[in-house]
Amino acid sequence: MTKSPLRHLSRIPPIWMILIACVAFFSVFADSFFAIGNFTNILIQTSTIGLIALGMTVVMINGNIDLSVGAVVALAASLAVGLQADLGIVPAVLVGLGAGVALGFLNGMVVWKTGVDAFIVTLGAMMGVRGLVFLYTGEQSFFSMNFAYADFGMSSIAGVPTLAWVFLALTVIMHVVMTRTTHGRNAYAVGGNREAAENAGIRVGRHMVANFMLVGFFAALAGITLSTQMGASTPNLGTNYELWVITAVVLGGTKLTGGVGTILGTLGGVLTIGVLRNGMNLMQVPAFYVLVVMGAILIAVLLVDARVNRRVAGEVKL
Amino acid sequence: MAKTDVELAVPVRRDPWITRDKVVHLLQTKGLLIAFALFLVAFSLASDRFASVDNISTVLRQVAIVGTIAVGVTIVVIGGNLDLSVGSLLSFSTVLVVDLHDKIGPGPAILIMFAAALAVGCVNGLLVGFARLNSLIVTLGMLSAIQGLTLIYSGGQNVDIADQEGTWFAFFGRDFLLGVAVPTWIFLGLAVILHVVLTRTTFGRKVFAVGGNPTAAAFSGVRRARVVFSTYLISAFCTACAAVILGSRVMGSQNNVGQGYELVVLAGVILGGTSLLGGSGSIPKTVVGVLILGFIQNGLLLLGYPYYAQWLVTWVVIILAVWLDVASKRGRLFTTTS
């Protein structure tokens, strides 16, 4: 079995072409864009959205969605910062992560057992968890009194920020999980044809719960890394993150209908958003325009995708 | 007589769950109304202010903005699509109408704002209807783009109306007609009109057909693209109406005033029982859904619970409502998936 390198090239998600074009554009037109320091900056800036996107990719490949991630970000951050005075940093962080996993478990169990669409279940959770955050925090921001917490967010290993390492390492792990393990193969099977997956003996319900716990974990981790960057948490943290994350994942080529998507594509989508924000910022374009460009790119990618991949079979064109 | 014979020919089911089936069936058909009624009774008993005319008209007035948008979004959802751009569009329209009010007068401001909102509806409609793109992603992109447009237009500044007492623009958000607030009139008026459109016109039938079975609708000669396009125009129109109410009530606007409305609106629509899959649902159901959200908020506040407790209750209520619906169609409470 010989694989030509070209065949490998064709599997690179198309978003990477857009990403390379963006990097080339900003390298020419934005001063101080093309610098190692700036690239690590982009990695830190995108790691929050990126971490959640890793989990969201798997959930969306399953054919589900999780709208509650933004609220989980706030909950985990508030718990990790709010409890560390009493518990110490490590236990507080563990409680934050545990809350994310527990909420993921809850979402997953409800989706599995009730058969209610994940969009509705997590839309409800999005409001409910945000309500929990406001009740827990009493609408207050929390500040970390222990500087070790914020120092961790600022630290770097071998010249690269620790948070960037965390993001990159987890990206590699998730890539391996999705391409080399049974769980990864099952994710595609469940999303591609759920009934067939069930008949093939995949325990679809448990599988989906595991993935909701995964995205809950990643959302909580993102909340904690975000709060280490600021040394604080606010109850509004993570508002609208679900929309940004879904945008990144869809840009990366994952289909909402399930069965299609890659971690590499998601990484490309996340980095494209990061590069656009960073580059336009360096060119001193007001932040407002980034929103318009993001929306336009999202729709443009969809249009191109529809032109290239439209399956005519089974559809009546009128 | 023949009918009786057929019924006798059906073997008697010895299903131990038969009574639960009956309960489930009753709950399915009237479940939401029963729950709503129980809920109202419970709150009336718990708080003596809850059932007063004053309080009820306050709630009706409070839900008017969400309700007005939800009525339009219901039609989009019945047509088998989503509209997540309404929150951003509400921000944009409100900023536009408030800003133009002092520059060119209320009349032209309202006209231009409606034109702009309908233009956004056109873009949604073209992309989802004619280009057949996924509605969730298209309107997600539009959500972001319109939010950006709003900020570009206002330069990030809040806008407000200088002469708040002397303008007739105040009518839409602050006045009362026959003892009922004008926002309530607009909400319920639009609901009645669009309910008639949906149930008594060919267009209404086409919306249900397109949402329920697009292929069958196409073979029946229904032009899906045009129908979907129109549903987005309706949704944008309703959002523009909500912007008039909001702008008039506040007499000013922040750039992100509509942020999050898209999901609250959707919660109302889902709570009412309109299926996200399309093809079923109704506007009265949505009105009930929106009212439930409004009364939950109001009732919990009257009972002295913190403001955010309503979101927790909404979480549970939404899932329970949809679960009941799904379970009754399935005939059992839980799925059989392993």
The residue count of chain A comes to 318
Confidence of residue A1 (pLDDT cuts 50, 70, 90): very low
For residue B37, being part of any structural domain is answered with: no
Confidence of residue A263 (pLDDT cuts 50, 70, 90): very high
DSSP at B126: I
At residue A317, the pLDDT reads 45
Instruction: Kindly tell me if the per-residue pLDDT of B208 is higher than 50.
Output: yes
pLDDT tens digits along A269-280: 999 999 988 898
Instruction: Kindly tell me if the per-residue pLDDT of B4 is higher than 70.
Output: no
pLDDT tens digits along A34-56: 888 888 888 888 999 999 999 99
How far off is chain B from A44, nearest CA to CA, in Å? Answer: 22
At residue B194, the pLDDT reads 95
Cα B191 from Cα B283, distance rounded (Å) = 6
Q: How far is CA A281 from CA A24, A33, A285, in A?
A: 16, 10, 6
Contact between A60 and A253 (Cβ < 8 Å): no
At residue A5, the pLDDT reads 55
Q: Do B315 and A127 touch (CB under 8 A)?
A: yes
Cα B275 from Cα B211, distance rounded (Å) = 10
Smallest CA-to-CA distance from A56 within A233, A192, A252, A223 is with: A252
Q: Do A131 and B142 touch (CB under 8 A)?
A: no
How far off is chain A from B84, nearest CA to CA, in Å? Answer: 10
Which has more pLDDT, B337 or A275?
A: A275
Ramachandran bin of A158, using left for φ above 0, alpha for ψ from -120 to 50, beta for the remaining angles: left
Average pLDDT over residues B169-190: 85
Chain A residues in contact with B270 (beta carbon < 8 A) = 120, 123
How many CB atoms within 10 Å of residue A286?
Answer: 13
Q: How far is CA A176 from CA A164, A207, B90, in A?
A: 18, 17, 43
At residue A72, the pLDDT reads 96
Nearest to A295 among B132, B141, B152 (CB): B141
The interface residues of chain B toward chain A in range 149-168, judged by CB-CB distance below 8 A, are 149, 151-152, 156
Q: How far is CA A262 from CA A6, A19, A32, A272, B116, in A?
A: 19, 16, 31, 15, 38
For residue B151, being part of any structural domain is answered with: yes
Q: Do B337 and A246 touch (CB under 8 A)?
A: no
For residue B181, being part of any structural domain is answered with: yes
pLDDT tens digits along A98-157: 999 999 999 999 999 998 989 889 988 998 999 999 999 988 899 888 888 888 888 888
Report the interhelical angle of B224-250 vs B86-104 (nearest 10°): 50
Domain that includes residue B225, residue range: 49-327
CATH number for the domain running over A34-303: 1.10.3470
At residue B77, the pLDDT reads 94
Instruction: Kindly tell me if the per-residue pLDDT of B8 is higher than 60.
Output: no
Q: How far is CA A51 from CA A248, B217, B247, in A?
A: 11, 42, 39
How far off is chain A from B43, nearest CA to CA, in Å? Answer: 21
Chain B residues in contact with A198 (beta carbon < 8 A) = 337-338
Pairing of strands B180-181, A232-233: unpaired
For residue B232, being part of any structural domain is answered with: yes
Cα A78 from Cα A187, distance rounded (Å) = 32
Which has more pLDDT, B43 or A9?
A: B43
For residue B44, being part of any structural domain is answered with: no
Q: Do B225 and A256 touch (CB under 8 A)?
A: no
At residue A58, the pLDDT reads 95
How far off is chain A from B248, nearest CA to CA, in Å? Answer: 26
Chain B residues in contact with A116 (beta carbon < 8 A) = 319, 322-323, 326
At residue A91, the pLDDT reads 92
Assembly ipTM: 0.84
- In degrees and rounded to multiples of 5, residue B180 shows phi and psi of -115, 140
Which has more pLDDT, A9 or A46?
A: A46
| Candidate ranges A31-40, A110-119, A278-287, A290-299; pick with highest mean pLDDT | A110-119
pLDDT tens digits along B126-135: 999 988 888 8
At residue B160, the pLDDT reads 82
Q: 3-class SS at B265?
A: helix
At residue B29, the pLDDT reads 67
User: For residue B74, which amino acid is it?
Assistant: T
Cα A205 from Cα B15, distance rounded (Å) = 27
Average pLDDT over residues B293-308: 86
Pick from A62, A112, A116 the residue to mutate for testing the B interface (most B CBs within 10 Å). A116
B215 touches chain A (CB under 8 A): yes
pLDDT tens digits along A61-76: 999 999 999 999 999 9
Cα B266 from Cα A70, distance rounded (Å) = 18
Q: 3-class SS at A156?
A: strand
Q: Which of A124-133, A304-313, B43-52, B208-217 has the lowest mean pLDDT?
A: A304-313
Pick from A123, A251, A312 the residue to mutate for testing the B interface (most B CBs within 10 Å). A123
B47 touches chain A (CB under 8 A): no
For residue B38, being part of any structural domain is answered with: no
At residue A314, the pLDDT reads 41
- Compute the mean pLDDT over every residue in chain A, rounded to the nearest whole number: 88
Q: Do B335 and A250 touch (CB under 8 A)?
A: no
Average pLDDT over residues B141-158: 88
Query: Could you give the number of structural domains in chain B?
Result: 1
Instruction: Kindly tell me if the per-residue pLDDT of B230 is higher than 90.
Output: yes
Chain A residues in contact with B334 (beta carbon < 8 A) = 113-115
- Reading the block at residue A141, the tokens are 């921001």
For residue B249, being part of any structural domain is answered with: yes
At residue B90, the pLDDT reads 95
Contact between B133 and A299 (Cβ < 8 Å): yes
Smallest CA-to-CA distance from A218 within A115, A60, A97 is with: A97
At residue A10, the pLDDT reads 59
Nearest 5°: the CA angle B243, B133, B258 is 20
At residue A315, the pLDDT reads 45
The beta-carbon contacts of A207-210 under 8 Å, at least 24 apart in sequence, are: A207/A62, A207/A183, A208/A62, A208/A64, A208/A108, A208/A111, A208/A112, A209/A105, A209/A108, A209/A109, A209/A111, A209/A112, A210/A108, A210/A183
Domain boundaries, chain A: 34-303
pLDDT tens digits along B236-258: 999 999 999 999 888 888 888 88
The interface residues of chain B toward chain A in range 120-149, judged by CB-CB distance below 8 A, are 127, 131-134, 136-138, 140-149
How far off is chain A from B5, nearest CA to CA, in Å? Answer: 37
Nearest 5°: the CA angle A178, A183, A187 is 70
Return the residue of B nearest to A287 by Cα: B148
Pick from B226, B319, B322, B325 the residue to mutate for testing the A interface (most A CBs within 10 Å). B319
- Give the pTM: 0.85
Q: Do A299 and B316 touch (CB under 8 A)?
A: no
Strands (E), A148-208: 156-157, 160-161
The residue count of chain B comes to 338
Pairing of strands B159-160, A232-233: unpaired
- The CATH number of the domain where B265 resides is what? 1.10.3470
pLDDT tens digits along A186-230: 999 999 998 899 999 999 999 999 999 999 999 999 999 999 998
Q: Which of A130-139, A284-293, B21-30, B121-130 has the lowest mean pLDDT?
A: B21-30
Q: Do B137 and A289 touch (CB under 8 A)?
A: no
